[in-house]
Structure 1
Amino acid sequence: MIMMDSIPWSTIMVVTSWYSSNIGVLLMNKYLLTNYGFKFPVFLTMCHMMCCSIFSFIGIQVMDIVPFQSIQSREQLVKICVLSLVFCFSVVCGNVSLNYIPVSFNQAIGATTPFFTAVCAYFVTRKREAWLTYATLLPVVAGVIIASESEPSFNLFGFIICVSSTFSRAFKSVLQDLLLSSEGEKLNSMNLLLYMAPMAMLVLLPATLLMEKNVIQITIDVARNDIRIIGFLLFSSSLAYFVNLTNFLVTKHTSALTLQVLGNAKGAVAVVVSILIFKNPISMIGMCGYAFTVLGVILYTEAKKRYS
């Protein structure tokens, strides 16, 4: 049994910060997009990418959190651009889904990421897992089906968009391993964000102007009546960066496997917190379905550890 005294305080602080930023950005985005009524998810994502670009530059070039890694070739730049597009699509879809479904259901769907990762890995790289590893994915999918069937706030469009976000997030992780696999091309997550965030912002700027016309003027008009909107956008955008920063630090202080295990628990905590704050209705069957999914993810993590 691991005693709390044996865990360094720095690790405890990093994990706490990771939980806080992950859950915080979800709740903040949900509040902005639904409760507050700021229904501009693409613009919100662009603000996130802008903040990630600025903070990444400061963190790496000024504060020297991690050593700067330069792009080595045009081919590597193209690969990062592809990853940036997939990353951008994933974040936008995730934010759009919060317009239609509660955070608890969003997290239940997000827990199926290992399933989509395994599927993508098989079709893209032909990588096969042990049969027991694939078997553990059955309760992951079954749990989401149960949760969907009994979700009081179910919305088909929100469900499809959230699944799209989850799939593209899994697809990005597989592409990242495939495209940046050679030693000369590998970038740590913070340097990768330094390059991806500005690229995503350049994609999101015209998308925002086309899909959410006059959003900048609308934001200015809202700010004249309620200056809090500026603080909300800055806070949400800052949290988006700290999600990536603390994700990197947790892996550095523990391991990638520990990050997966903590991520499973984080999803459950986010569900409970969102229900307490937003008081969205949820059935007992839905909770059982989500618990079933989390159990499947835990079994999947154990199977990957044993058979990889």
Structure 2
Amino acid sequence: MLAITGNRFYTVGLISAWYSSNIGILLLNKYLLSDYGFKYPIFLTMCHMTACSLLSYVAVVRMELVPMQMLRSQNQFFKICVLSFVFCASVMSGNISLKYLPVSLNRAIGATTPFFTAVFAYLITMNTETLLVYATLVPVVIGVVIASGEEPSFHLFGFIMCVGATAARALKTVLQGVLLSSEGEKMNSMNLLLYMAPVAVVLLLPVTLYMEGNVVEITLALSRVDFRIVWYLLFNSVLAYFVNLANFLVTKHTSALTVQVLGNAKGAVAVVVSIFIFKNPLSVVGMFGHALTVLGVILYSEAKKRSK
């Protein structure tokens, strides 16, 4: 009995940590890129990937939290590089969008991931869903259209970046299933991150130097005036890794379906928390749009569960 109770507390603790880290990094990214005025999203993404590289090595290789899966061929490494490129595009575009959009709209657009996943799954693998699954995606898209149209802080470039980030996230999911589908190439998320993160740093470095070339000098100069920026960047980067670790542990100790359901609720929680913290205005019609999107995602999860 005590063991069961302990396991429940452990699972609840993991879910709480997952929620806190996901929402925390979203809000901290928004604060740094918008409110604080640190307008370097590509450099911030590179910091995230650097932390993921170092901490993945410590967790997988040194601490052996999960068994290490070795690369089997150059072809497998090439596939991981492709995934890393798409992953970079997703995280970088998402961070750029936070410069211009409120977190509430960012999360609403992010909720359309199932729509893009269904589109890419059909285009790449010709995989089709049931009519009911496709029907549940309609309120998801309509809700985002309503929320975007009624958003007082709407910014077209930020909107495009956020849609791009969402599409790239969905594309990575589909490509991962295609590229690493053979039994010998499958990897758990922690091992995949171990190999993807360093490749992402290599990809992001020249982009950072070209588009944000003086960011290191600016950051050092800023740290002399306000040293908190150093702690913000360090904490933010470590949190980026912890998000991946918490997601892996929650999936391991519950199920992929539970994670999907909890993820739907997490989006709604993030919207409410961001509105309270950043005080961004939201009309009644806009709230209806957000609610419609969340409802659509919940219906989508139920439809997917029944179709299996």
Mark yes or no: TM-score above 0.5.
yes
Q: CA 1:129–1:280 in structure 2 vs 1: closer, same or farther (change >3 Å)?
A: same
SS of match in other structure, 1:37: coil
Q: CA 1:286–1:6 in structure 2 vs 1: closer, same or farther (change >3 Å)?
A: farther
C-alpha distance in 1, partners of 2:170/2:297? 14
SS of match in other structure, 1:98: helix
Aligned AA for 2:282?
I
C-alpha distance in 2, partners of 1:262/1:229? 32
Q: How does 1:136-175 map to 2 (within 5 A)?
A: 136-175=136-175
Alignment TM-score, normalising by the size of structure 1: 0.98
Aligned length: 305
C-alpha distance in 1, partners of 2:266/2:233? 23
2:273 corresponds to: 273
Q: CA deviation at 1:240?
A: 0.5
2:135 corresponds to: 135
C-alpha distance in 2, partners of 1:25/1:162? 16
Matched, 1:302 2:306: no
SS of match in other structure, 2:99: coil
Matched, 1:118 2:126: no
Aligned AA for 1:56?
S
Q: CA deviation at 1:287?
A: 1.1
C-alpha distance in 1, partners of 2:108/2:6? 33
C-alpha distance in 2, partners of 1:199/1:303? 37
Q: CA deviation at 1:51?
A: 0.3
What is the CA deviation profile of residues 69-121 of structure 1, one whole-angstrom value per residue up to 9, with x for unaligned ones? 00000110000000000000000000000000000110000000000000110
Q: CA 1:210–1:241 in structure 2 vs 1: closer, same or farther (change >3 Å)?
A: same
Q: How does 1:282-293 map to 2 (within 5 A)?
A: 282-293=282-293
2:219 corresponds to: 219
C-alpha distance in 2, partners of 1:147/1:304? 25
1:199 corresponds to: 199
C-alpha distance in 2, partners of 1:112/1:140? 6
Q: Which runs of 5+ in 1 are unaligned?
A: none
Root mean square deviation of aligned Cα:
1.1
Q: CA deviation at 1:147?
A: 0.5
Q: CA deviation at 1:213?
A: 1.6
Q: CA deviation at 1:6?
A: 9.5
SS of match in other structure, 1:33: helix
C-alpha distance in 1, partners of 2:217/2:75? 39
Q: Which consecutive aligned stretches of 4+ in structure 1 deviate over 4 angstroms post-superposition?
A: 4-7
C-alpha distance in 1, partners of 2:254/2:293? 24
What is the CA deviation profile of residues 118-147 of structure 1, one whole-angstrom value per residue up to 9, with x for unaligned ones? 011011100001111101100010100110
What is the CA deviation profile of residues 240-284 of structure 1, one whole-angstrom value per residue up to 9, with x for unaligned ones? 101100010110011001111000000000001111111011111
What is the CA deviation profile of residues 125-175 of structure 1, one whole-angstrom value per residue up to 9, with x for unaligned ones? 000011111011000101001101111110111001000000000000000
1:104 corresponds to: 104
SS of match in other structure, 1:209: helix
C-alpha distance in 1, partners of 2:184/2:274? 42
SS of match in other structure, 1:136: helix
Alignment TM-score, normalising by the size of structure 2: 0.98
Q: How does 1:12-27 map to 2 (within 5 A)?
A: 12-27=12-27
2:79 corresponds to: 79
SS of match in other structure, 2:100: coil
1:65 corresponds to: 65
Q: Percent identity?
A: 66
What is the CA deviation profile of residues 204-227 of structure 1, one whole-angstrom value per residue up to 9, with x for unaligned ones? 111000000210011000001111
C-alpha distance in 1, partners of 2:168/2:162? 10
What is the CA deviation profile of residues 20-47 of structure 1, one whole-angstrom value per residue up to 9, with x for unaligned ones? 0000000000000011100000000000
